[in-house]
Chains A and B, each alone.
Chain A
Amino acid sequence: MKINWFKYAATINFYALAGRVIPFFWVAAVILITIGLYWGFFKTPDSLDNGMKEYYRIIFVHLGSVWMAMWLYIMMVFWALVGLVFNTKLSYMMASATSITGALLTVVALATGAIWGKTSWGTWWDWDPKLTTFLILLFIYIGYIALQSAIDDTRRSDKASAVLALVGLALVPVIYSAVNCPDPTQCSSLHQESSMKNIEPNIMKGIIFTTLGFWMYSFATILMRVRNIILQRERNTNWVSKLKEVN
Chain B
Amino acid sequence: MLSAFWLVLKRDLLLALRRRSEIFTVLFFFLVVISLFPLGVGTEDKTLKQIAPGVVWIAALLASTLALERLFSSDYVDGTLEQLALAPQSMSVMVLAKMVAHWLLTGLPLVLISPLVGLFYHLPSHSIGVMMMVLLIGTPILSMIGAIGAALTLGLRGGGVLVSLLVLPFYLPVMVYGSGAIATSMQQGLSLQPYFMVLGAFALLAIVFSPLATAAALRISLE
Contacts and interface: CB of A to CB of B under 8 A. Distances in A.
Interface of A: 136, 139-140, 142-143, 146-147, 150-151, 155-156, 159-160, 163-164, 166-168, 170-171, 174-175, 177-179, 182-185
Q: Per DSSP, are chain A's interface residues mostly helix, strand or loop, or mixed? A: helix
Contacts of A171: 170, 173
A184 B209 contact: no
19 contacts: A136-B172, A139-B165, A139-B168, A143-B165, A143-B169, A150-B156, A150-B158, A150-B162, A155-B223, A159-B223, A163-B220, A164-B152, A171-B173, A174-B202, A178-B176, A178-B177, A179-B176, A182-B180, A184-B195
Contact of B165 (A146, A184, A185): A146
A150 B220 CA distance: 15
Contact of A175 (B156, B166, B172, B217): B172
B27 interface: no
Contact of A159 (B157, B198, B220): B220
Nearest to A149: B162
Nearest to B173: A178
A89 to B, nearest CB: 14
Contact of B166 (A147, A156, A166, A184): A147
Q: Per DSSP, are chain B's interface residues mostly helix, strand or loop, or mixed? A: helix
Given A156-B221, A179-B172, A163 B180 contact: no
Contacts of A166: 213
A174 B198 CA distance: 11
A7 B197 CA distance: 51
Nearest to B168: A139
A147 B148 CA distance: 13
B169 A146 contact: no
Contacts of A136: 169, 172
